Structure 1
Amino acid sequence: MALPTSHPAPSRPGPPPIGFPDWSHAARQAAESVPGQAISALWRALNHLCAAQLYLEDNPRLARPLRPADVKEDPRGHWGVCPPVNWMLAHLGPLTAWRPAGSELLVLHGAGHAGPSALAHAYLNSTLHLTGRGPGWSMPELRALIARFPHPETFGGEITPLIPGARHTGGQLGPALAIAQGMVLDAPHRLVVPLIGDGELETGATAAAWLARRALTGSGHGAVLPVVLANGLKMGGPSLLATLTQDEVRAYFTGLGYQTFLHDGTDISGFRRLLADALTRIRPLGDKGRQPVIVLTMPKGHTGPEQVAGRKIAGTPAVHKTPLRNPRKDDAEFAALAAWLASYRPAELFTTQGRPTDLVRQALPGPPPQPGPDKPTAPIAARGPQSWPLTSTMIRERAGRGGFRLFSPDEITSNRLKLTDDGSLPPWASEILNEEICHAWLQGYTETGRDALLATYEAFAPVNTSLLVQHLKHRSLHYAAGHSGLPNINYLITSLGWRNTYTHQNPGLVSSMLETENGSVHIYTPADAMRAAAVLAVMLSGRDRVNFLITDKHSSTSFPPDPFRDELTVGAAVWPHLSHQGAPDLVLASAGDVPARELSSAATLLLRTTHPEIKIRYLHVNDLAVLGPDPQWPYALPKPEFTRLFGTDTPVLMAVPTHPGAVRALLAARGEAKRFNVVGYLDPGRPITPQGLLEHCGLSASTLAARAALMLKEYGR
C-alpha cells in the first residue's frame, strides 16, 4: 500500500473545552524533555525483547557471540504485529509521563497477538513479577522473561489481564475501539489509545464502532485516539485495507467523520510532530466534530529478517508468527537470527544487571495507573409500587448517584423503560442498533470501575454469546492475576418470547452461560416486577459477578413478598401461601415470572380442586445458578438446603422460562435429574399465539396441572 509518511497539516481547530486536558501541550512537553534517541532506544529495546522471547533460552544481552545452545528448540509466539505496537508504546511512554495533572492515558491492545510487546513493556516498566523476588529489573528477571516465554502456566503468550497494564483480552477480536469508547464515558480526565490491527477493521464490531461514537451524546467524557496498525497483512494474507489507495484510505475515514494522520514509522521526529498535531485535534467523545485517527503503515514484522537462503520473509505471512522456523539447527537461519538480534545493539539497551540503560529509561512512562472506580457506588434499597415501572425507578435512582451507564440496542422505549418524566433519553443512556457495540461499551465502562446495564430483547441477546464467553475468560484471568472488585456485568433481558413473534423467541443465551459452569454467572428469574426491581438494585451494586435478569416487561401478577428475602439471599424459597405443612407428595417449583404465573394458577385453581387430598410444596427459584453443584457453582444450594426444599424422593415439577435442557443439566450434575420433570421453552416451528406457545411447551396452567396429575399417578401418590 503506497501511503505517504504524513498527512498534510489542515487548519488549526479551536481550543478544547474548558476542563478538558490539554494533551497537545503534554506532547510538546514530552518532545522538549525526552530526546528522539531515547524513543529510538526504547523502540529497539521492545523489539529486541520481543524477538528474544520468541527465540532465546539465554544470553539476552548478546554479551557474547550467540550459540545454538542459546536458542530455543521450539520457537513459539507472534512477531509480526510487535514492531508497530512497540513503535506506539515507545512514543506514548513520554506522553504518559508528561500527561496533564489529574489525567490518565491508557493503551488498549486490540491486537491480541502482541503478547510479547505487552510483556516486554511490563518488564521495562518494572511491573512484571517473574522470579518470585518481586517485580523489578535484574538479570534473573530478564532471563526468565525470555526463557519462559510463552509462560504457559503464568502469563501466557498473548494479551490478557494477567499481564500488568493489560485491560483487554486480545482474543476478543474486534471490540477494542468500542471498549475504548466505554472506558472514557463520564471520565473527562481519560485518554484511551486503542491499537487496532488492520485485520480487525474487517470485523463487524470495529466497522460499527467508528460510527457508534455518534450515539454517545452529552458532555463530560474523555477522548479516544484510535491508531490503526495498517501493516498490510492479516495472518494468512493481505488485509482488505491494504487494497486501498492512499486517497481511498483518507476517503474511508473522512466519510466516517475522522481526520486521517498517516505515517510509515520511518521518521521519529516526524511522527512526534504528527502525534502532537493529532492531539491538538482530540476532542471529548460526545463532540460531533471530526476526531483524529492515526494510520501507521509500518510493514508487518518490520526490522526482522528480509529473506533467508532465498526464502522471502518480509511482506509474506511468514512474519506473523516465528519468521525463522528452526534457527537452532538450520545454519542459515541461525546466522539470520544472530544478525537480527544484533541489529538492536542490546548491550546499549540493558546493563549487565538486566536494567534498562539511562537512555531507555528516559522514554519510559513509569508504572501504569491502577484501575479503580471513578465514582463510588452503594447498594440501593428497593421501594415503590409493585409494578414494572419500579424497574425504571431503580435505574433512574442508580443513575442519579453517578458512575453509571445504560446501554441498549434501540430498545429502551420498546422495553417500557421510562428513564425521564418526559420520555426523552437521558445523557447517561446510549442506544445503537448493535448488540456487540453495546456489550463492548459496557465492558469498557465496567473495566474502568463504573456500574453499567445492558437492556435488550431476549431474542437478540444471544448475538453476544461469543463476546460474553470471551469476557468470562478475561475476568477469570483478571482474578488469576490477583485482582478483584470489578463491577458486575449486568444484562436486563426482557421482551420475552412468551409474548413475541416466532422470530423473536430465543432464550439461548442463558443456556450458553450455564454451560460455561463459570461460578460468577447468575441467572436471575424473579417471580414478579417488585422482585425484579430488587434484584436489579443488587446487580447494580455488586462486584465480580456476571448477571442476567430475565423478566417480562408486561409483568402484572404480584405475589406475597414475605419469602423474597430467602429467594434473594439463598436463591430459592418455599411459598407458604401455596404449600401444605409436612412432607409433600409433590413439589412444584417455578423460575421466572411467566412460569410463576402459570404454575401458581395450576396449584391454586386446578390441583387443589381436582386433588384436594394431595400435599403440595410450592417454591420459587430466583437464581438458576443455585441449582448447580458445588464447587462448580460457588453459590449453589448446599445439600441440606436442597433437600429441605426439594426433598429426597419426592417428584418435582419445575417450570422455567428458558430451554429446559440447561436446567436439567444443572440437576443432572447433582445426580437429581430422574425425579425432576423440567418444562420450558420448546421451539414451535411456526408462528403461534402466546397462549398457543404456552400450550405447546406444556407451560399453561392447564397443561401443568395435567402433567402434575400424571406424575402423581406415576409415583403412586
Structure 2
Amino acid sequence: MTMTARTLLAAADWPSAAAEALEAIPDAAVDAYWRALNYLSAAQLYLADNVRLEQPLHPDDLKAVPRGHWGVCPPVNFALAHLGPLIALSPPGSDVVIVHGAGHAGPSALAAAYLNNTLDLGSGTGWSMPNLRTLISQFPNTDLGGEITPLIPGIRYTGGQLGPALAVAQGMAFDAPHRLVVPLIGDGEMETPITAAAWTGRRALIGTGPHGAVLPIVLANGLKMGGASLLAGLDEKALCGYFTGLGYRPFVHDGRDEPGFRRMLAQVLSDLTPLDANAPQPVIVLTMPKGHTGPTCVGDRQIAGTPAVHKTPLTCPKDDDAEFAALTAWLTSYRPRELFTAQGHPTILVRQALPGSQPPAPALVGPRRWDRTGEDTGWRAVSAVIRQRAQDGGFRLFSPDELTSNKIDTGGEGTGTPPWTVEVLSEELCHGWLQGYTESGRDALLATYEAFAPINTSLLVQHLKHRRLAAAAGRRGQPSLNYLITSLGWRNTYTHQNPGLAAAMAETEEPSLHVYTPADAHRAAVVLDAMLASTDQLNLLISDKHHRHTFPTGPFSRELALGAAVWPHLTTCGSADPDLVLASAGDVAARELTAAARHITTGHPEVTIRYVHINDLTTLGPPTTWPHALSETDFADLFGRGLPVLIVTSTTPGIIRSLLAARGDADRFHITGYRDPGRPLHHAALLDHCSMSAPQLAARALALHKERRS
C-alpha cells in the first residue's frame, strides 16, 4: 500500500477501498450521470426552450444560431462521471481535484456545476426548472462565458492555456499527500513543450516529498481543432511504448465498455504512487472519439471523425430538415426525462453518482517574516530570506537549474539539495509548478535568469486572467506569484541579455503587478520578504547577483511604502526645488547614477539636484490604473513640476516611458536604460553603448541643466 493510499482515503487497504468506492454506485447510476452531462452539454448549444423534451422537439424550441463547443465534452463527461463516486466517497481531509486542460469543455463544466447544485445563474444556487431553463437557454451566459474559467464553481484552472494542465496538476500535488489531482489532457496539449517537459520532469521530484498523487487522463480522441492530432498516428502498441518510455504505466480504453472502464479505474487507483516515488505512474489513455454519442452523419455529409465535431456539429437545424431530424435523434438518445424531474432536479438515479461539493483543504502555516537582525548581509541576505521562509513549510523554490549560478544558497551544501527546492531546465515547467502550488494555497518563488524569464510571458498573462476571474468569483487572498529575476544582462553574454518580461507585464496594465528594482542586496532581501508575505499580487523582483555597493538604509522604509523616495545624502537642494532631478531604478542604475551625482556635487556645486530611487516601477503609472501608484502630491514631491528629470533604469526604458506617458507627464523625463548592442560587448562597453556609465550620465545631467538655463 502506498503512502498516497493511506493519506488519501485513510483506509487500511487502498486497492479494496478504491474498489468499494467505485462498486458502491450502480453502473446504471454512473451511466445516467454521463448521459445527463452529455445531454446538458448538447442542449446548451441548441435549445432555447422545451429543455427537458417534455414535448416533441419543434424548430421553435431551437436557438437561431447554435454556439459553443461539443467535441471534447463527451470524453470529459465520461471521466467526470466515473470519478464522481471516488470524489463523493472519499473521507474528510482528503482532496480530489480535477484539472480541465481543455477550455472548450465549458458546457461540460457548467453542466457538472448544475448537477452538483453549486451553480448560481443569477437567482441563487439550487435545482429548479427555472434554473435548468436558464442554464440551457442562455448559454453562453454573458456573466459566466462559454468556456472553462474559475467563474464556474469547482474550477481551479482556466482551461485553454494549452499545455500547463499536467504541470499545474503536479504543482497542486506537491507537499499534499492527502490530495489526488486528475488532469484531463487533450490531444492538442500533448503536442506542447510544457506537457512534454512535465512527463519527464516528474523525475526531478523523486525524494522531494511527501507529495500527493497525479493521475493523468489523456483524451486521445484523434483530433485537434482543425485536423488529426499527432497521437492519432500511433497505434495502441506505439502509444503504450511512448508512455512506458516516459516512465508511466499506460491503461488504454475506448470508453465503450463502461463496467470494464470502472474495473480498470479500480486497478489504476490501486497502482497509484506518490508523485515523488521512484516507480512507474499509471496514466489513462481514453481513446473515445471526439464528439462521441453525437451525430455520425447528415445525409451524405460525414460529421463523426472530422473537425465538424469540434464546435456545433449541426450548424442550422432550425432551418434544415435533415439537421433537425439528426438533432432530434441526438438529444432524445439521452432520454432526458429519465435524468431530470419536472422540477428540474436530477433524478434519484443520477444523484447516486454525483460527487457533491468537497470541504476546503486545511489551512497551511503562514509565512514567518525574515529576521533582519541576522548576520547575513549582501546577496547572502536574499538566500537567508528564502531559507527562513522554507523552514515553516508550505513553500517551494523552483528554478531552471540555475540556483548555484544565481548565487542562491539553499543551505544544502554537503547534504544535497533541500527537498523544498526543485530545479529542472524549463522555465515553462517551473511556472506550471509555481502556478499549481500557489493555486492550492501555498507560497512559492521562481528564481531564474533575466534573459529567460520572458519565455513565460504568455503563461503569466493567461494566469493573470484566471486570477482576475477568480477574484470576481469571490476567491481572494491567494498567495502571490513571485519571480526573482537575476543574472542580469549587464554582466552576461549577448545571448543572455533580454530584460523584456517587466515591460511585457506592464503592458497588460494588471493592477496587481509590482516591478521591484531595489538599489542593493539588503533592499532586495527586504522586498523579497514582503513579496513572500503578500497575497493577490504578481511580483517581479529584478536584482543583480553581483552586489558590491550598499546604500544608506534611512530612506528605504519610504521606498518600500511608496515605491520611491528621496535620498537625502545625495540631495543638495534641501526643501527648495532643485535644478534637476536624478532618479535610479535598479542596482546597476543606482551604482552608476550615484557616482554621477557625486561627480556633479563635487565638480559643479552650483548645480542643485534631488536624488530619488525608484523601488517599484509601477508606482510611476497613473493611480487610475495602478492602485498602488504615487499620488499626484507624492509624485510632485519627488519629481517636482516642470523640472528636467533624468531616470536611469536597469530595465529597458520603454516600461518607464509608457508608465509616465499614461500619467500625462512624460516630456520632461529623459530615460536611459538597456539597449540591445547587436553584438557581444564586455560590461563596461555595454554601459557605454547604453549611455549608462557614470561619466556619461554626469555629462547628460549637466547638459540638461544647461538646456534649462539657456
Provide the TM-score with structure 2 as the length reference.
Answer: 0.97
Q: Is contact 1:193–1:227 with CA below 8 Å preserved after alignment? A: yes
Query: Which of the residues 311, 319, 325 maps onto 1:329?
Result: 319
Point out the more displaced range, 266-275 or 26-35: 26-35
Give the Cα separation in 2 of the matches to 1:25 and 1:679. Answer: 67
Partner of 1:7: none
Give the Cα separation in 2 of the matches to 1:483 and 1:288. Answer: 36
| 2:215 maps to 1:234 | no
Q: Is contact 2:162–2:188 with CA below 8 Å preserved after alignment? A: no
Partner of 1:537: 529
Counterpart secondary structure, 1:64? coil
Partner of 2:272: 282
Give the Cα separation in 1 of the matches to 2:223 and 2:37. Answer: 21
Letter of the aligned partner of 1:539 in structure 2? M
Partner of 2:192: 203
Partner of 1:649: 642
Partner of 2:377: 386
Give the Cα separation in 2 of the matches to 1:487 and 1:624. Answer: 21
Q: Is contact 1:388–1:556 with CA below 8 Å preserved after alignment? A: no
| 2:168 maps to 1:179 | yes
Alignment RMSD, CA only?
1.4
Query: Which of the residues 330, 333, 353 maps onto 1:343?
Result: 333
Structure 1 residues 466-489: Cα deviation after superposition (integer angstroms, max 9, x where no partner)? 101111111111111121111000
- State the Cα distance separating 1:247 from its structure 2 match: 0.7
Structure 1 residues 136-190: Cα deviation after superposition (integer angstroms, max 9, x where no partner)? 1111111111111112x31111111111111111121001001000001000000
Give the Cα separation in 1 of the matches to 2:680 and 2:341. Answer: 73
Letter of the aligned partner of 1:485 in structure 2? G
Query: Which of the residues 21, 38, 56 maps onto 2:29?
Result: 38
Give the Cα separation in 2 of the matches to 1:378 and 1:69. Answer: 63
Letter of the aligned partner of 2:560 in structure 1? L
| 2:598 maps to 1:608 | no
Partner of 1:139: 129
Letter of the aligned partner of 2:127 in structure 1? W
Give the Cα separation in 2 of the matches to 1:19 and 1:47. Answer: 33
Letter of the aligned partner of 1:113 in structure 2? H
- State the Cα distance separating 1:15 from its structure 2 match: 8.1
Q: Is contact 1:381–1:537 with CA below 8 Å preserved after alignment? A: no
Give the Cα separation in 1 of the matches to 2:26 and 2:368. Answer: 47
| 2:662 maps to 1:669 | yes
Point out the more displaced range, 326-335 or 417-426: 417-426
Q: Is contact 1:381–1:534 with CA below 8 Å preserved after alignment? A: no
Q: Is contact 2:449–2:488 with CA below 8 Å preserved after alignment? A: yes
Give the Cα separation in 2 of the matches to 1:120 and 1:225. Answer: 23
Q: Is contact 1:658–1:680 with CA below 8 Å preserved after alignment? A: yes
Letter of the aligned partner of 1:470 in structure 2? Q
- State the Cα distance separating 1:374 from its structure 2 match: 3.5
Query: Which of the residues 588, 591, 595 maps onto 1:597?
Result: 591
Partner of 2:102: 111
- State the Cα distance separating 1:102 from its structure 2 match: 1.7
Give the Cα separation in 2 of the matches to 1:600 and 1:585. Answer: 17
Structure 1 residues 390-416: Cα deviation after superposition (integer angstroms, max 9, x where no partner)? 000000000001100000000011000
- State the Cα distance separating 1:70 from its structure 2 match: 1.2
Structure 1 residues 663-689: Cα deviation after superposition (integer angstroms, max 9, x where no partner)? 101001111110000110000011101
Partner of 2:257: 267
Counterpart secondary structure, 2:265? helix
| 2:571 maps to 1:579 | yes
Q: Is contact 1:654–1:679 with CA below 8 Å preserved after alignment? A: yes
Partner of 1:310: 300
Give the Cα separation in 1 of the matches to 2:446 and 2:665. Answer: 34
Give the Cα separation in 2 of the matches to 1:206 and 1:371. Answer: 27
Counterpart secondary structure, 1:251? helix
Partner of 1:253: 243
Q: Percent identity?
A: 63
Counterpart secondary structure, 1:113? helix
Distance 1:65 1:49, change over 3 A: same
Q: Is contact 2:3–2:274 with CA below 8 Å preserved after alignment? A: no
- State the Cα distance separating 1:614 from its structure 2 match: 1.2
Counterpart secondary structure, 2:285? strand
| 2:152 maps to 1:158 | no
Partner of 1:168: 157
Distance 1:386 1:81, change over 3 A: same
- State the Cα distance separating 1:381 from its structure 2 match: 4.7
Point out the more displaced range, 224-233 or 606-615: 606-615
Structure 1 residues 618-642: Cα deviation after superposition (integer angstroms, max 9, x where no partner)? 0101000100112211111011110
Give the Cα separation in 1 of the matches to 2:356 and 2:8. Answer: 23
Counterpart secondary structure, 1:114? helix
- State the Cα distance separating 1:32 from its structure 2 match: 3.1
- State the Cα distance separating 1:367 from its structure 2 match: 1.3
Counterpart secondary structure, 2:533? coil
Give the Cα separation in 1 of the matches to 2:427 and 2:145. Answer: 30
Give the Cα separation in 2 of the matches to 1:715 and 1:338. Answer: 79
Give the Cα separation in 2 of the matches to 1:26 and 1:354. Answer: 34
Query: Which of the residues 513, 524, 537 maps onto 2:505?
Result: 513
Runs of 5+ consecutive residues of structure 1 not aligned to the other structure: 1-12
Counterpart secondary structure, 2:166? helix
Partner of 2:63: 72
Q: Is contact 1:387–1:555 with CA below 8 Å preserved after alignment? A: yes
Give the Cα separation in 2 of the matches to 1:322 and 1:467. Answer: 29
Give the Cα separation in 1 of the matches to 2:406 and 2:662. Answer: 35
- State the Cα distance separating 1:211 from its structure 2 match: 0.2
Provide the TM-score with structure 1 as the length reference.
Answer: 0.96
Counterpart secondary structure, 2:437? helix
